[in-house]
A = this chain, B = another copy of it.
Amino acid sequence: MRISELSKSAGVPVDTVKYYLRMRLLPEGRRTSATQAQYEQSHLDRLRLIRALTGAGGLSLATTRSILEVLDRRDRPTSTHQLLEQVDQLLAPLGEEPEDTTRAEAVIADMGWDLKITEPGPTSRLAQALAAIDAADFPLDHQAVLDYAHVMQALADEEVASVPDDADAALVRYIVLGTILIEPLLLALRRLALINASARRYSADT
């Protein structure tokens, strides 16, 4: 297909598509002449993926490109675990000051998590979340954090268990996108569940 069709199918302006091409988010089309190129279904899929990651996923174009590169890599990572850590590092918001991670580490220790981690990203994200809760003077004790952690652990266990066994490109895709795109889903569901729960309590009150 030509660029205008690609644009129309994905609902993305032609200029934006060209911009993505320039930014190397989209691979070039197959040139048919000096001013013409052909785009395939794969381009459309990629374009939709870019919009999903930058839209609901909330990623920047730069981060999106890194993620796409991971998806495109021909050499498979040695383990799911390694891949996850890598993705997490890419998604880490390159923190300013190396904040205090003692509380985050305490949570990890109390959960008995053996992360075999080399990168600071995941732990520092937790530290930042805890620091924000603290700075806002929101009352949340250690036990409450552990309660949340247990819920997430149960969820993660199921998610990892549900990952298919055949370690091919589809697996990498599954893990990377599952990490990123499930997040907005979880948050949206939590918001609705909160509203529902409070509606019930409200009705009970009246």
Contacts and interface: CB of A to CB of B under 8 A. Distances in A.
A160 B201 contact: yes
A51 B137 CA distance: 12
Interface in A119-175: 122-123, 125-126, 128-133, 135-140, 145, 147-149, 151-161, 174
Main secondary structure of the interface of A (DSSP, over half): helix
A78 to B, nearest CB: 9
Contacts of A148: 155, 182, 185-186, 189
Contact of A192 (B45, B123, B157): B123
Contacts of A184: 125, 128-129, 132
Contacts of A133: 52, 56, 181-182, 185
A136 B199 contact: no
A108 B192 contact: yes
A81 B136 contact: no
A94 to B, nearest CB: 13
